[in-house]
Structure 1
Amino acid sequence: MTDTKDQINYSMIKDDLYQAVNGEWLKTATIPADHASAGGFMDLNDNIDKELMADFADLQKHATDAEGPMAEFLKLYALAANFQKRDQDGAAPLKPLLKQIEDLPDMAALNAQLSNWVKMGLPLPFNFDVDADMKNTSVNALFAGVPGLFLPDKTYYAKDNPAKDQLLTVFSNMTQQLLVMADYSSAEAEAIVKSAIRFDENIAPHVKSAEESADYSKMYNPMPFSEFAQSTSELDLTALAKDLFDQVPEQIIVTEPAYYQALAGIMNLETFDDMKNWMLVKTINAYSSYLSEEFRQTGSTFGRTLSGRKATTSQQKSAFYLASGVFGQTVGDFYAHKYFGDKAKADVEHMVKQMIAVYKNRLSTNQWLGEATRQKAILKLDTLELQVGFPDHIDQLEYKFKITTAENGGSLMQNIRQISEISRLDNYARLGKPVDRSRWEMSASTVNAYYHPFKNIIVFPAAILQAPFYSLDQSSSQNYGGIGAVIAHEISHAFDNNGALFDEHGNLNNWWTKEDHEHFQKLADQMIQEFDGLPFAGGKVNGKLTVSENIADAGGLSCAEEAAKNEADYDLKAFFTGWARVWRTKATKEYQQLLLNIDVHAPAELRANVQVKNLADFYTTFNVTETDGMYLAPEKRVTIW
């Protein structure tokens, strides 16, 4: 039997929940040429983009009436959309940067201008960032990060990875073409790219893979700055820090110590020419999307190959993405005030309270937590902060961005470089100052949600609070299967294998007894095993890479179900089918394979199907038995929270 309204084939649910709910949709759904996927998240995002682009087209007609960041956003949007000027400018806005790199004769010359180099955001084999000290999250600390690779992950550089040569060929051809467009000869371009790849390959063995990076508690490796500065004898990191931060910090948190132990072998007089070419390649790729249409199309080749997208984003949409990416809070504030209602906010806040109550009850009655750990867990839950809809005010940083229009001689790239420098210096200026715990990491127009372990806070932007995740027109059970599970998922991140290492203040602090943590780790290992090796898109799921998100999914779905059952009109069929519906996704094979390698989330289809198998109510609701495809033996079902 198929429900024609929702296109749900109920007779299939016992064998494949995801296909039963989404099969009819999958038959007819098409992936837009400029997308790698279509589905709940992406379709909702596209609708919001369409609404906002229409809104801002109207605002552009009265741009002189706009004030503050909105006025500057409209200027940047117009500049980004002015492809006639971008085509006229060609490579000219980029050439001074490329020449600055070319003109470096040696490491001493780089050292002499190192501070300006960092402020301008020119590429280096190291970088600084200021963020909350993971063991004292009330204060901002200095972090040392590592450079990104040309390929998506270090595992792509392995000799036995069949994708390595194919992707490097695409990347090389694209970059050589970009360099020729910037007036290098073909021979020069080929030599530059070959040299740059050699330097990138030297970096790869010393940085973490996506799987290794998934355990972000291992980012916290504090050391005296004086010791860190000895990572290289070629560059004066002490003088650099003094210039950037007015004084040399006593301490720096090194996210990947193994990389900095190898830095002297990576960056030295012998590798200088390769490093220079690596900088040239990094720079021309980073800025290609801000130049002419030819640069933009050519520069997207590698990304399109990775994701399977058939076309580059349209000019108008790319201009919107660029400008809204810079003025995210401004755009989000506009969106929230126009499209987000108080009734929806109140309803979602009610659901959050319901979910927290369920979690609290579960922690209170948990059979494997010791009393000391239980009380600390409840304290963390009681301290959890909530932000729904949009922030109280636009981030002050966006008030600092002043756009020089084309009429006043400004180019898109010049403005982006200036904004980048202002943002970087704003970040550096926070060192040693109190952390602003109210600061949002996402725009209110973003279809997403997050838990911030350093702040112990959950945030739900206005954009995600609509169908299929949430609607006042949907039943409470449908909403709990959608946004309810998302809410509980974010709460669960406070108690996943990463979040569980942070206390109620967001500090990296072990609040577990040894016995309780060992038991928790055994449960986490079961979750790893449940997903590890599952076949998908010609590859296999990495259970270690996806474990934190899978723990959050499991806790989120289970708690959302219990909360749904607390409502008078609960309907578990609607709950489970609502859960499966939000994960409907159609994606290119290339994109699916890319995500298998680098994404901490399991594939959407498996998120929908695997987690429900852990819940007893799923079996009774749909009468699932041992002979059915959705059956999982009780001893293999994983329950953590």
Structure 2
Amino acid sequence: MRNQFLSANNSEGGNADQSTNDSIDTSLLKDDLYKAVNGRWEKTAKIPADHSSTGGFMDLNDNIDKQLMSDLDELENKNVDSFEAPFSEMLKLYKLAQNFKKRDADGAEPLKPYLEKIEGISNFDDLNAQIVDWVKTGYPLPFGFFVEPDMKNTRVNALFANSASLFLPDRTYYENDNPAYKQLMPILTKTLSQLLILADYSSSEADEIVESAKKFDAAIAPHVKSAEESADYSKMYNPQKFSDFAKSSSHFDINKLASGLFDKVPDQIIVTEPKYFEALDDIANETTFQDMKNWMLVNTVYGAAGTLSEEFRQTGSTFSRALSGKKEATPQKKSAFYLATGTFGQTIGDYYGKKYFGPKAKADVEHMVRNMINVYKNRLQNNTWLGENTKKKAIVKLDKLELHVGYPDHIDQIEYKYHITPENQGGTLFENMSKIGEIGIADNFAKLGKPVDRTRWEMSASTVNAYYDPFKNLIVFPAAILQAPFYSLKQSSSQNYGGIGAVIAHEISHAFDNNGSLFDELGNLNNWWTKEDHEYFTKLADKMIKEFDGIPFAGSKVNGKLTVSENIADGGGLSCANEAAKNEQDFNLYDFFINWAKIWRMKATDQYKQLLLNIDVHAPAELRANVQVKNLDDFYSTFEVKPGDGMYLKPEDRVKIW
């Protein structure tokens, strides 16, 4: 529930790219800014076989991965126990994950006890007898609990209930005879059957189990939210008395489950999808028990594939590759790196931040953030459509906005709890990852009723991204994104404002987008707007929806409602960065807009574009570059854009919110 900016390492922020394919086609600037800046690059750019895209964000990620893999390989040759935990444990996991000889020899054996446990249940009485351990161990159920800040009292952690995930990426795939379902479900069906065969089921057994699991998946689909519906945070907050919630199912012993997981059964639970739980008895009952059991088997095998043999790993990635258009699975070594650093995200982030992020860059970025906040405050003070009361509250929220730049002061304590059993002591990758999963579940449940750690980072410092957390009124800029083309001490201030400056202002804007505007300065869901002001804001948001909705892209169309939150943040971010750039003595708006277009450089497979159109709350990168600049008057004067030019938008159609 964080607003992320998406979806060569240098201690001072990287070097500006000066490749020969980076030249700008000035003849296109008035008609297609994105193509003018990125078209020549796109013609020669090649998408790596194990990727679904290449370009700005992905290139930076690849460079960081390459550097960190090289570092870990060098350190791995030393005595891993000479390093302090949790770094030493991360190196052990990296080594264990790379031993495909042992993984291949083990085959499905580490997984079989888990499958046997699922096979051993015959009815709900069997399941309820062990339901507490079932959840603690990480076995799937058609509903789940998780602990997060209470959306109306974000200083304390509360209990939430959520629905089951679907086999396909979104509910809309199952609706209206969607051709994507007909294309993708046969691929998934084959993938799942092959995985079951690898787990020593016969071909006929595997096919029967998968068809049964698909029936249960289809029963879930009508009752869960689509990506568009999930994009509205306020609709997630549906508190219920726990005693009433427990009546959602006459088959699962929900009271027993809660009393076994927590010190005491909580008085309240926040239900993210009430319609799903209203239908839970129809979804999971004695009649559908066998289908649910097979659904559990399929989910368990599918979830384990990446930690077993190479054949499991390759087979398990078949569907995701079809979904994204990747030609090949991630190489073995890189997959081991991703598994280890994904598990120890704060540990690798701490290492990356301390080694590759310099204090000079940190100070410069913090200076830019302060500039951007001042621009925002000035705009709020001079806003013509907000009433005084709403305006004052907005400024209070801005003044309370917290900032994290670079990397955290400390590694999350949970990563100190992960202890890897190496292969010479009988450890397997699957068993180690299963144990880590159990620790994660226990750690999350233990937070119920406890104060929220507002210093905790939700993203590794080695991640090329940024985010706004509405529950903490906090913006975070990891070290990894603070490099060219987003940011470099070698770039001009205008280039940096067109890159990281727009990212900074984008995240600030999330505090005042259609979701963020519902949370107060402490991160609580609390309507601080007057009725008149919110109605006017909704009209402006509707204009942003209309500006993007239905734009043709990749053989389909953009969903303006799905992407409205990020589009509002892009619009406010670019507009404020534009103003901040002009406040610098060396401002050059040509450089500003060119670098804005450059950061959105992306070449992707058709399949990946289609996937993002269906589930991503961000508009396609090309449109983020092109559409938002049309709303800024400075763009027209900078490039002399006139009526009749491709980039021209009539003044009355330009959307200006923040």
1:579 and 1:4 mapped to 2: Cα distance? 19
Q: What's the counterpart of residue 49 of structure 2?
A: 33
Deviation, structure 1 residue 627: 1.4
Q: What's the counterpart of residue 64 of structure 2?
A: 48
- Secondary structure at 2:376 match in 1: helix
Structure 1 residues 238 and 597: CA distance shift in structure 2, 3 A? same
2:370 and 2:491 mapped to 1: Cα distance? 19
Matched, 1:636 2:653: yes
> In the alignment, which of 449, 454, 458 is matched to residue 441 of structure 1?
458
Write the letter of the residue equivalent to 1:191.
E
> In the alignment, which of 281, 284, 292 is matched to residue 267 of structure 1?
284
- Secondary structure at 2:154 match in 1: strand
Q: What's the counterpart of residue 507 of structure 1?
A: 524
- Secondary structure at 2:148 match in 1: strand
**CA distances 1:313-343 after superposition (whole Å, capped 9, x unpaired):** 0000000000001100000000011100000
Identity in percent: 69
Write the letter of the residue equivalent to 1:382.
D
Deviation, structure 1 residue 5: 8.3
1:471 and 1:564 mapped to 2: Cα distance? 15
> In the alignment, which of 235, 254, 260 is matched to residue 218 of structure 1?
235
Deviation, structure 1 residue 65: 1.5
Deviation, structure 1 residue 3: 11
1:60 and 1:191 mapped to 2: Cα distance? 45
Deviation, structure 1 residue 155: 0.6
Q: What's the counterpart of residue 579 of structure 2?
A: 562
Q: What's the counterpart of residue 277 of structure 1?
A: 294
Q: What's the counterpart of residue 15 of structure 1?
A: 31
Q: In 2, are the aligned partners of 1:453 and 1:506 still within 8 Å (CA)?
A: yes
2:21 and 2:578 mapped to 1: Cα distance? 23
Q: In 1, are the aligned partners of 2:21 and 2:41 still within 8 Å (CA)?
A: no
- Secondary structure at 2:164 match in 1: coil
- Secondary structure at 2:86 match in 1: helix
Deviation, structure 1 residue 159: 4.0
> In the alignment, which of 546, 560, 563 is matched to residue 543 of structure 1?
560
- Secondary structure at 1:156 match in 2: helix
After TM superposition, list the pairs within 5 Å mapping 1:408-419 onto structure 2: 408-419=425-436
Q: What's the counterpart of residue 163 of structure 2?
A: 146
Write the letter of the residue equivalent to 1:222.
P
Gaps of at least 5 residues in structure 2 are 1-17
After TM superposition, list the pairs within 5 Å mapping 1:166-177 onto structure 2: 166-177=183-194
Q: What's the counterpart of residue 375 of structure 1?
A: 392
- Secondary structure at 1:495 match in 2: coil
**CA distances 1:268-302 after superposition (whole Å, capped 9, x unpaired):** 10000000000011111000010000000000000
Q: What's the counterpart of residue 624 of structure 2?
A: 607
Deviation, structure 1 residue 160: 1.8
Q: What's the counterpart of residue 121 of structure 2?
A: 104
- Secondary structure at 2:240 match in 1: strand
> In the alignment, which of 153, 157, 164 is matched to residue 136 of structure 1?
153
1:89 and 1:457 mapped to 2: Cα distance? 45
1:353 and 1:230 mapped to 2: Cα distance? 51
1:175 and 1:396 mapped to 2: Cα distance? 36
Q: What's the counterpart of residue 468 of structure 1?
A: 485
Write the letter of the residue equivalent to 1:310.
K
Q: What's the counterpart of residue 73 of structure 2?
A: 57
Deviation, structure 1 residue 239: 1.3
Q: What's the counterpart of residue 310 of structure 1?
A: 327
**CA distances 1:529-573 after superposition (whole Å, capped 9, x unpaired):** 000000000000000000000000000000000000000000000
Write the letter of the residue equivalent to 2:93.
L
Matched, 1:358 2:380: no
Structure 1 residues 117 and 56: CA distance shift in structure 2, 3 A? same
1:404 and 1:178 mapped to 2: Cα distance? 26
> In the alignment, which of 435, 446, 464 is matched to residue 429 of structure 1?
446
Write the letter of the residue equivalent to 1:275.
M
> In the alignment, which of 267, 270, 290 is matched to residue 253 of structure 1?
270
Range moving further from structure 2, 154-163 or 196-205: 154-163
Q: What's the counterpart of residue 627 of structure 1?
A: 644
Matched, 1:205 2:222: yes
2:163 and 2:638 mapped to 1: Cα distance? 49
Q: In 2, are the aligned partners of 1:3 and 1:10 still within 8 Å (CA)?
A: no
1:7 and 1:146 mapped to 2: Cα distance? 49
What is the aligned residue count? 640
Q: In 2, are the aligned partners of 1:18 and 1:609 still within 8 Å (CA)?
A: yes
Q: In 2, are the aligned partners of 1:3 and 1:9 still within 8 Å (CA)?
A: no
- Secondary structure at 2:405 match in 1: strand
Write the letter of the residue equivalent to 2:466.
A
The root-mean-square deviation of aligned C-alpha atoms, in Å, is 1.0
Q: In 1, are the aligned partners of 2:22 and 2:38 still within 8 Å (CA)?
A: no
1:82 and 1:264 mapped to 2: Cα distance? 45
**CA distances 1:224-271 after superposition (whole Å, capped 9, x unpaired):** 000000001111111111110120000000000000000010011000
Gaps of at least 5 residues in structure 1 are none
Q: What's the counterpart of residue 24 of structure 1?
A: 40
